[in-house]
Amino acid sequence: LKKLIVEIPDHPYPVMIGDNLFSRIKKEMSKIPRRQAVIIDRNVDKLHGDRIRKVFSSIKGDTEYFILKSGESAKSLTELTRMYKFLLKGSYAKDSILFAVGGGVTGDTSGFAASTYKRGIPLIHIPTTLLSAIDSSIGGKTALNIDAKKNVIGTFYQPDGVYIDLNFLDTLPKPELSSGIGELIKYTFLSELNFFFYVLNNLNKIDKLDYRVLESIIFRCASIKASIVAKDEKEESGLRKILNFGHTFAHAFESVLNYRIKHGEAVTAGIIAALHLSNRIGLLPENRLITYLKLPQKLKLPASIKRFEVNEIIEAMKEDKKNKDGKINFVLISEIGSLLIDVSVKKEDISYSIDKLIETI
């Protein structure tokens, strides 16, 4: 079992990671006898519902369950309204806790509901995908989509705890695991060379769900994210922007492909393009580029990436909600652990990087 604290000023909270953690922390969960509203992703409920109910039935306080539809379309006002009605019907209030059991979709939707229902009720995340364990459950961003516009409404709302039980990952479909690995690769670039090589050398163990390796990489990524958000909770100083490494490209790829690509695959492709772009503008020397490409290039990317039209990608980049003053901004890298934010580049450099990406996959 590993534990860290997200040191948000005035709102520190624990992140716990472990094998069979969920059953092991019953005592911890029983400490504050409250009423629990448990939001569960439908797929997770089918696969783990019995275990989840067993744990909650053994702790103090009443528990009611709300099954959230699975998939990105759950991040909608329709599901949110259904959730508010469930909370109202059960008379949940500030002395209750909302548990979000699922991936990033469940976390984002439940987080939004918890932050707005009665101006905020306590929230605990129980992430069940690799992506949500290493990234989305920590840091307090909540979001909903409006039609095809992703994450256009949202709040910053820190949870009171994040409990990561590795056993949930046993049932995660392979493409979802790969999607999480895309974000994991991003974290290796925000970290240090040792971690980069650790991940590079242990990819097959991650693939085989080796708990020891998973616990260690989740702990590492969670620690990186925790230290960034503790210093820049609401994206004010700019530090938090480094978490968008590879994402200017990734969001454009997702949009051009109408989201028929997994987020982590788009991030992996985005990282390859961002590495080439960093090299192109003279930031990243050739020898480092070659080493750094080794990790993202280990992941198999979908053939749809080969059909990119550069102008279309650039048009999509212009829509990115992170742009300022009409400029497309990139996060680029000079060395692992040294990233530059808000870099704007020439159109031909973007075009060069996408050509290089297409060549290398």
Question: Using CB under 6 A as the criterion, which residues of the chain lie in contact with ligand NAD when the complex forms?
Answer: 41, 43-44, 47, 70-72, 75, 102-106, 108, 128-129, 131-132, 135-136, 139, 141, 143, 151, 168, 171-173, 176, 179, 263
CA-CA distance, 188 to 122, in Å (whole number)? 32
Which one, 34 or 103, has the nearer CB to ligand NAD? Answer: 103
Which one, 218 or 350, has the nearer CB to ligand NAD? Answer: 218
Joined tokens for residue 326: 């009409």
Shortest CA distance to 330 belongs to which of 256, 252, 260, 274?
Answer: 274
Q: Report the SS3 class of residue 89.
A: helix
Joined tokens for residue 294: 């080794």
CA-CA distance, 18 to 204, in Å (whole number)? 20
Which one, 243 or 345, has the nearer CB to ligand NAD? Answer: 243
Which one, 43 or 96, has the nearer CB to ligand NAD? Answer: 43
CA-CA distance, 20 to 166, in Å (whole number)? 7
- Our measurement of the distance from residue 120's CA atom to the centroid of its chain's CA atoms, rounded to an integer in Å, reads 22
Q: Smallest distance from the beta carbon of 170 to ligand NAD, in angstroms?
A: 7
For 170-222, give the DSSP string. Answer: GG--HHHHHHHHHHHHHHHHHS-HHHHHHHHHHHHHHHTT-HHHHHHHHHHHH
Torsion of CA 28, 101, 225, 73, to 10 degrees: -160
Q: Smallest distance from the beta carbon of 208 to ligand NAD, in angstroms?
A: 16
CA-CA distance, 17 to 269, in Å (whole number)? 29
Q: How many helices (H) and strands (E) does the chain have?
A: 14, 11
Q: Smallest distance from the beta carbon of 75 to ligand NAD, in angstroms?
A: 6
Which one, 108 or 274, has the nearer CB to ligand NAD? Answer: 108
Which one, 139 or 296, has the nearer CB to ligand NAD? Answer: 139
DSSP 135: I
Tokens 């949930």, residue located: 168
Which one, 37 or 143, has the nearer CB to ligand NAD? Answer: 143
Q: Report the SS3 class of residue 22.
A: helix
Q: Smallest distance from the beta carbon of 106 to ligand NAD, in angstroms?
A: 6
Which one, 108 or 233, has the nearer CB to ligand NAD? Answer: 108
How far is CA 95 from each of CA 32, 37, 42, 156, rounded to the nearest angstrom? 10, 11, 26, 20
CA-CA distance, 159 to 204, in Å (whole number)? 32
Which one, 156 or 197, has the nearer CB to ligand NAD? Answer: 156
Q: Which residue's Cβ lies closest to ligand NAD?
A: 104
Q: Smallest distance from the beta carbon of 292 to ligand NAD, in angstroms?
A: 22
The answer to whether 31 and 58 have CB atoms below 8 angstroms apart is no
Joined tokens for residue 198: 């650790």
Q: Smallest distance from the beta carbon of 346 to ligand NAD, in angstroms?
A: 29
Q: Smallest distance from the beta carbon of 90 to ligand NAD, in angstroms?
A: 24
Q: Smallest distance from the beta carbon of 206 to ligand NAD, in angstroms?
A: 15
Q: Smallest distance from the beta carbon of 130 to ligand NAD, in angstroms?
A: 8
